[in-house]
Amino acid sequence: MAAGVAVVLGLGIAAAAAAGRGEPVAMPTPEVSSSSVPSASASPSPEVSADGPSEGEGSRDPAAGEAHDATSNDASIPVPASGAEVAAGDRPVEVVIPAIGVRSSLVDLGIAGDGTMQVPSDFARAGWLTAAPAPGQRGPAVIAGHVDSHEGPAVFFRLSELVAGDEVRVVQADGDVVSFTVRGKESFAKDEFPTDRVYGPVPGPVLRLITCSGEVDPVSGHYVDNTVVFAS
């Protein structure tokens, strides 16, 4: 993996050291129902029945362009770009997290001219970092979302409620589903963000769900921590 692509998430993901220098982290591989993975069988798009509201329901409109370059209210962490090609049918279009009532279509989060990741314009929708692997490919796929806005809770407001054993499903463009199981979650101070651990090489497909957390710095207006959910 290439090192050091700066990534931005609205309302407060902060800077950390360049990635890709750590030892591989061994984690169980996910159960995959995807045409891109041998021995997998196709599954229909999931229906969600969970406590709490569903967010951003529906399929992504490729023409919607619901991502924008970071503003002064955003802060960044670097992540590696995989450079892997993703077949059109394998592109993630929806994330479903029944335990916290999330069903969100996904926007593509690209890399802006200044090297930072674009952020979702819609606070009710999460985004997939296209410079990282797609869910189901080897390596850490990254789905990021806002925790809140000035108007109230956003798509990943309840992300910190996830516990080991909870399911995360990612629907691909061809209708296949990649299923992950939450293994754990941690919150990190932004100035101590463990970039290698979160984005470093792994032997199989894993998923990182990221949002902001902690207190709000009264000077910068940014959250001081990040919550990362580890799933495989």
Query: Which residues make Cβ contacts (< 8 Å) with residue 59, sequence separation at least 6?
Result: 93, 94, 105
- pLDDT tens digits, 122-134: 999 999 989 889 9
pLDDT of residue 138: 93
Phi, psi of 214 (to 5 degrees): 85, -165
Mean of per-residue pLDDT scores for the chain: 73
- pLDDT tens digits, 184-195: 999 999 888 887
pLDDT of residue 67: 66
Structural domains of the chain, with CATH: 5-82+89-231 (2.40.260.10)
Please give the average per-residue pLDDT across 28-42, as a whole number.
37
Is the model's pLDDT at 118 over the cut of 90? no
Is the model's pLDDT at 176 over the cut of 60? yes
* Between 25 and 227, the higher pLDDT residue: 227
Please answer whether residues 84 and 37 qualify as being in contact, where contact means their C-beta atoms are separated by less than 8 angstroms.
no
Is the model's pLDDT at 80 over the cut of 60? no
Please answer whether residues 95 and 102 qualify as being in contact, where contact means their C-beta atoms are separated by less than 8 angstroms.
yes
pLDDT of residue 174: 97
Is the model's pLDDT at 87 over the cut of 70? yes
Query: Which residues make Cβ contacts (< 8 Å) with residue 182, sequence separation at least 6?
Result: 162, 163, 164, 165, 166, 167, 168, 229, 230, 231
How many CB atoms lie under 10 A from the CB of residue 221?
Answer: 12
Please give the average per-residue pLDDT across 149-157, as a whole number.
95
* Between 59 and 127, the higher pLDDT residue: 127
Percent residues over pLDDT 70 in the chain: 62
